[in-house]
Structure 1
Amino acid sequence: MSSERIVVVTGASRGAGKGIALALGETGATVYVTGRTQHEGDAPLPGTVFATAGEITRRGGRGVPVVLDHRDDAQVEALFAGVREKHGRLDILVNNALAVPDALTRKGPFWEKPLSLLDLLDVGMRSSYVTSYYAAPLLVANGAGLVVNTSSFGGTCYMHGPAYGAGKAAVDKMAHDMAVDFRPWNVAVVSIWMGLLVTERTLAAFAADPGAYDGLAATAESPEFTGRVIDALARDPELMNRTGQVLIGAEIAQELGVEDTQGRRPPSHRPFLGDPPVFSAAVID
């Protein structure tokens, strides 16, 4: 894979997407970052696509901001038409965009929460499919590449209720099935389970209820950690042996010698949150 990689990271105004984009940008890549937030104050949390792109460039990459609503398929199609026109290829796609309704972490059964929680199946599950659909011809033309769906242990354990769980389980299975289709073109697809992240959202939660998060912050992953893992995977000569799998980011980091910021090595949450799914090798066209 070329050292001057062309990368698209969706949902990168803040949080995991921003961190992933920054880490990949530090490798010298051209990173397209998508998101809806154009100006500080447009969203409850800080961050814009322009700020992310600017920081990528300051770190030695080339950040390209793309204001985009992943509910609009035509906007996604236009994004990849632009990538095709400028570069003719794509090396890495990171499907990270996710609608996070305010009620997501509210306590109580699903029927006591608003139906707006289903938004995360639109921007999350569905948007990952659509983005991969329009990215596929560029990855295939390249003859190699990597697609990553960011996910979590919520794909198999109860986490934030059935809407969130269904969305994460779906992108995990999507990675497996897309890997079957992409394999002849040497394009790998994986889903990466992230741990607790120190993002703008979690920092606000820490501040609001410090006692509820005692001990967690010390082992939490930085938003850039998963980006470093993705970079290592993209360089791994055994990448195609991992395609179609659901990977725990902290465990792959240990295997490939990846450190988080400040030299930390975040632990895997497998012991108390469970194992990733193992899918059948059967293929029925």
Structure 2
Amino acid sequence: MSDSKVALVTGASRGAGAGIARGLGELGYTVYVTGRTTSPGTAKGWDGSVLPGTFEETAQNVTALGGRGVPVQCDHSDDEQIAELFARIARDEGRLDMLVNNATYIHHQLIEKKPFWEKELDAVGILDVGLRSAYVASWHAAKMMVSRGSGLIAFGSSFGASCYMHGPAYGAQKAGVDKLAHDMEHDLRGTGVVAVSIWMGPLITERSKIASETNPEQYKDFIETAENPEFTAHILDAIDRAPNRDELSGGVHIAAEIAKELGISDRGKDRPSYREMLGSPPQKNPAAVY
């Protein structure tokens, strides 16, 4: 069992998940890294090129950065594999301090400028791996965390929950995980476990680099101020350590804004908020109906 904090980052072969895992590694966490990619080739960029990265490589990077990376092959569309993942963490570590729900189905037509009915129906897969899978993982995590009286459940979200971004399936998934954080906070209140959703800004990832090359006019301004995905990990750690963590729980937080509030920077830089351009997170409503 580890003496360090234990985190699980789902869908971390590359992209935001890999960066968040690396960021937690920089902070000394033991990080369970899940993914499906054992060798590059299955995941493709917007231009059809093969994307680099595997969950095993991410785990190795976590260890190289000062943490302890534990790679686990897991298909988050399979409830049994998710259950076994959490059983393994409980068996090997005896604790889970942070769950980062990042695993998301990315359809190859996601950024195409087409109405949803002209895209393949498979684009709806983001509501399975991305929304439903986040609920399932959070269900398992809550059971482990509540019994110990501490923990943080996080959801990776974006301004697409508010504005039109990449089509209705993507928007519904982001709005959905925001609502999961809101409602899970109600159930978790008083247990020592908190739930938050983070609206990340544009991220520097393998896919975003290709997107900026594929659609330079659309992505040029965003990429110039894009966040490193490790930034999100540092924000989540700061939220978990914050004296007002209970007040932050249930909230949907813009990464750039909550970072400033908590004194966190992205490699020494403050990142812009796109609130005025892309919309504001929903406010927590205290009403509860049973």
Range of TM-score over shorter length: over 0.9
Equivalent residue number for residue 10 of structure 2: 10
Q: Of 24, 45, 63, which aligns to 1:57?
A: 63
Matched, 1:252 2:258: yes
Asked if the contact 1:22/1:56 (under 8 Å) is kept, the reply is: yes
Look up the equivalent residue of 1:5 and give its one-letter code. Answer: K
> What displacement does 1:256 show?
1.0
Give the secondary structure class of the aligned counterpart of 1:260.
coil
Equivalent residue number for residue 282 of structure 1: 287
> What displacement does 1:58 show?
0.6
Instruction: Flag the 1:221–1:158 CA change in 2: closer, same or farther, 3 A.
Output: same
Equivalent residue number for residue 145 of structure 1: 151
TM-score by length of 2: 0.94
Asked if the contact 2:239/2:248 (under 8 Å) is kept, the reply is: no
Equivalent residue number for residue 238 of structure 1: 244
Give the secondary structure class of the aligned counterpart of 2:8.
strand
Give the secondary structure class of the aligned counterpart of 2:287.
coil
> What displacement does 1:104 show?
1.0
Q: Of 58, 76, 81, which aligns to 1:70?
A: 76
> What displacement does 1:211 show?
4.0
Structure 2 matches for 1:91-130, cutoff 5 A?
A: 91-130=97-136
Q: Within 2, Cα distance between the matches of 1:53 and 1:163?
A: 30
Deviations 1:20-79 (A, max 9, x none): 111111111110011111112232211100000000001110000011000000000000
Look up the equivalent residue of 2:278 and give its one-letter code. Answer: L
Equivalent residue number for residue 168 of structure 1: 174
> What displacement does 1:168 show?
0.7
> What displacement does 1:226 show?
0.7
Look up the equivalent residue of 1:124 and give its one-letter code. Answer: G
Give the secondary structure class of the aligned counterpart of 1:38.
coil
Look up the equivalent residue of 1:6 and give its one-letter code. Answer: V
Q: Within 2, Cα distance between the matches of 1:171 and 1:28?
A: 27
Matched, 1:25 2:25: yes
Asked if the contact 1:125/1:170 (under 8 Å) is kept, the reply is: yes
Equivalent residue number for residue 226 of structure 1: 232
> What displacement does 1:3 show?
7.6
Asked if the contact 1:5/1:91 (under 8 Å) is kept, the reply is: yes
Matched, 1:272 2:277: yes
Look up the equivalent residue of 1:73 and give its one-letter code. Answer: D
> What displacement does 1:105 show?
1.0
Give the secondary structure class of the aligned counterpart of 2:272.
coil
Q: Within 2, Cα distance between the matches of 1:149 and 1:77?
A: 19
Q: Within 2, Cα distance between the matches of 1:86 and 1:150?
A: 26
Q: Within 2, Cα distance between the matches of 1:107 and 1:4?
A: 45
Unpaired runs of at least 5, structure 1? none
Asked if the contact 1:175/1:245 (under 8 Å) is kept, the reply is: yes
Equivalent residue number for residue 183 of structure 1: 189
Give the secondary structure class of the aligned counterpart of 2:110.
coil
Equivalent residue number for residue 47 of structure 2: none
Look up the equivalent residue of 1:246 and give its one-letter code. Answer: V
Give the secondary structure class of the aligned counterpart of 2:190.
helix
Alignment RMSD = 1.3
Matched, 1:158 2:180: no
Unpaired runs of at least 5, structure 2? 45-50
Q: Within 1, Cα distance between the matches of 2:215 and 2:141?
A: 41
Q: Of 208, 214, 224, which aligns to 1:208?
A: 214
Identity fraction in percent: 53
Give the secondary structure class of the aligned counterpart of 2:189.
helix
Give the secondary structure class of the aligned counterpart of 1:216.
helix
Look up the equivalent residue of 2:107 and give its one-letter code. Answer: P
